Amino acid sequence: MSEEKQIQREKEKQEKQAPKGRPGQPRPEELVKLVRILSKDIRGDMKLYRGLCQISGVSWAFSNAICKLLKMDKDKLIQDLNESEIRKIEEFIRNPVGVPVYLKNRRKDRDAGADKHIYGTDLNLQVDFDIKRMKKIKSFKGIRHSLGQPVRGQRTKSHFRANKKKSGMSSKSAKPQAKMATKPGADASAKKK
């Protein structure tokens, strides 16, 4: 009887020491399995619908389309996906067939002229190239980008002043050090002594 009680007490201690997460609160990182989808590590305790949004270029609407067209449960955890489902998701994001045009993020591409969907680092590079092209041709948006001003018509009186001096304020300069009130020949006489 005493051995059974000791075993029971040890189990209770282990349960108390094990970190418990409240429902809706993320668990510590070391206890969560990470799943890699399209070179992005996604926490395994996230639901599929929300976890796919962690991939750059996948919005909530596109994630919803993935779940519906591939007939997957939105509430399924990422860590519960098997390899074939992950491959299916990756292929669908690379080549989204059956997705409405308005969900794609690169409609009527300047170079190809077709509707494309870009994801990951390719998306970041494409945005940088677009901004550089606008600056090069000196369009209005390009000029605003180069000046660090808002591009889409926002007001500038009360915002967009991060790391900038406020207008109308004079900058405080260091006060010049006061010179010693001495006669012009006083330095020469001090050196001789």
Confidence label for 50 from pLDDT (cuts 50, 70 and 90): very high
Domain membership flag for residue 50: yes
CATH for 49: 1.10.8.50
| C-alpha span between 182 and 42 (Å, rounded) | 73
pLDDT attached to residue 142: 93
pLDDT of 29 strictly over 90: no
Domain span at residue 55 reads 30-103
% of the chain at pLDDT higher than 90: 20
Domain membership flag for residue 155: no
The total number of structural domains that make up the chain: 1
pLDDT attached to residue 139: 93
| C-alpha span between 136 and 132 (Å, rounded) | 6
The angle that helices 121-136 and 140-147 make with each other, rounded to 10 degrees, is 110
Q: Token pair for residue 181?
A: 């009130």
Average pLDDT, whole number, for the chain?
Answer: 80
pLDDT attached to residue 116: 85
Q: What is the pLDDT of residues 79-101, one digit of tens each?
A: 888 899 999 999 999 888 888 88
Q: Say if CB 62 and CB 103 are below 8 A apart.
A: yes
Partners of 43 in the beta sheet? 34
Domain membership flag for residue 163: no
pTM (whole model) above 0.85: no
